[in-house]
A and B are shown apart, each in its own frame.
Chain A
Amino acid sequence: MNNISTTFTANDLLLMLQGAGVTFLLTIVSGIGGTVLGFLIGWGRSLRAPWLYYPLGAYIEIMRAVPLIIQFVLMNSFMAILGYAINPFLSGIISLTLYIAAYVAEVVRAGIDAVPHPMVRAARGLGLGYIQAFRLVVVPLGLKTVLPAWTGLMLGLMKDTSLIAVLGASPPELLRSSQIIITRIQEPLAVLTGAGAFYFIMCWLITLAVRRYEQRPLLQSLGR
């Protein structure tokens, strides 16, 4: 039975590439979900209504105070004892979304606070409604200030998706597929260095894409 190859095969490379794809997918899905949720939380906190401000604040504190590994395991076990047989992959996405939303919320609030109040009052004075003023003045101005911090969060998120490996979620993401290969060929160093290079390239691509976006005329015209 022992015809197991102990060298790195073409199949393994394929598995790692597929893993990189899953990492990317996880990042995008939970990144979008987390940004939407985080935006709502950050906006809710910026209203400064006590009944909203403190519960949301507590949520943010908790999500930022517990290691993601533990959040993954807890979410997975929690779903289990509630009797929901959702697979670890989905429970991982839920964990990642809830986790990154807490960070996004803080960034969003900082962005909203960064827009000078006189400006908002001026917009309201010109006859814009609350939503219009928010959409036309606060969002574009805030966006400019939060974009670097938000990019940082998304890069962090991509690296954090690797922790989903503790659940053995299938299909495997990049780190998990590396571990699968390592279990067979027992060469952790080479495989992990390769995985590191993948992460590095993906981070670099995202940074580049955001920098492109930042240089769009609309954002440029808003100036410093």
Chain B
Amino acid sequence: MKWTNLTGLFGAIGLAMMTQTASADMLDDVIAKGELRCGVMLDVPPVGMRDNSNNPIGFDVDFCNDMAAALGVKAVIVETPAPDRIPAILSGRVDVGVASATNSLERAKSVGFSIPYQIWEVGIATAVDNTSINSEADLAGKSVGTVRGTTGEVAFLDVYEKKLKAAGTTYTSYGSNAEQFLALSQGKVDAIVESTTIFGEYLKGAGAGKIKICCSMASAPSDWTGLMVPRLEQGMLNWVNLFVWHQWKNGRTNELYKKWFGYDAPNMSYPGVSSY
């Protein structure tokens, strides 16, 4: 083979490689760029919040950092409040949504969900001196506060429509946890329904001595959340699924649970069915 032919061959390979980059999938893009951009909600302690110097911290932030490390790239935390979660993913402004999103079938029509990485329980909290609410059934005739669009609200609304509404219960749907907690501490509502994880964090901080977790929302199904990628990025989704599995296998998920939530990670496979 002559040298000129060789150059031609290398040229052709080089050209092929360049065109390849143009049609590469997201996983290749992330590795090539050297950074993984995660969409995280930073107004939901302890999964996403800011420390005293207003740097992002929390379960989801750590999870993103781990993922970037596994990819061998730099992690970039992009704050995505609830209404920006989907636009951020659709536009490619973030690569993966690490935003404690419940993996509902309705939502999965819009984005691709990974296997579960967190499971939340829904609970009921009251003022510390409240003795009249001791179970979910005691919410009858009381006023209840929820946060709009959260799993806590969806779980509550289910019971509300079936039983509580007829019993005279009223409910108010607040914009965020900050308003919800303030409403409870001012006595505007008798009880609030929210993920116990979020209660836990509040009890450690500003809510100490003011509120108590009364009971679990027994009728509410536990809330399984997944990481989100664009629906058509199957290659990325495969990798993300395997990553979530490895986080479990090497004990990191449990470690993060202990660090941020203060207890062991629950079993994340559903009895009697494979995968989920």
Residues of A within 8 A of B (CB): 1-6, 9, 11, 15, 73, 76-77, 79-81, 83-88, 166-168, 170, 179-180, 182-189
Contact = CB atoms under 8 A, between A and B. Distances in A.
B88 A11 contact: no
Contact of B87 (A1, A9, A80, A189): A80
A76 B84 contact: yes
Interface string B146-162: 00000000000000000
A184 B202 CA distance: 9
B50 A183 contact: yes
Chain A binding surface SS class: helix
A141 to B, nearest CB: 45
Contacts of A187: 206
Interface in B89-128: 90-93
B22 to A, nearest CB: 15
B93 A168 contact: no
Contacts, number: 91
B248 interface: no
A86 B51 CA distance: 27
Interface of B: 42-43, 45, 49-54, 79-81, 83-84, 86-88, 90-93, 176-179, 181-182, 202, 204-207, 259-260
A188 B179 contact: yes
A2 B207 contact: no
A15 B4 CA distance: 63
Nearest to A69: B83
Given A2-B205, A168-B80, A168-B81, A83 B92 contact: yes
Nearest to B205: A6
Contacts of B93: 80, 85-87
Given A77-B87, A188-B182, 4 more contacts: A4-B52, A85-B91, A180-B42, A186-B205
Given A80-B93, A87-B93, A186 B84 contact: no
Contacts of B204: 2
A86 B21 CA distance: 22
A136 to B, nearest CB: 47
Contacts of A185: 206
A154 B180 CA distance: 33
Contacts of A4: 49, 51-52, 205
Contacts of B206: 6, 185-187
3 interchain residue pairs of minimum CB distance: A80-B91, A186-B206, A80-B87
Nearest to A75: B87
A85 B269 CA distance: 36
B52 A179 contact: no
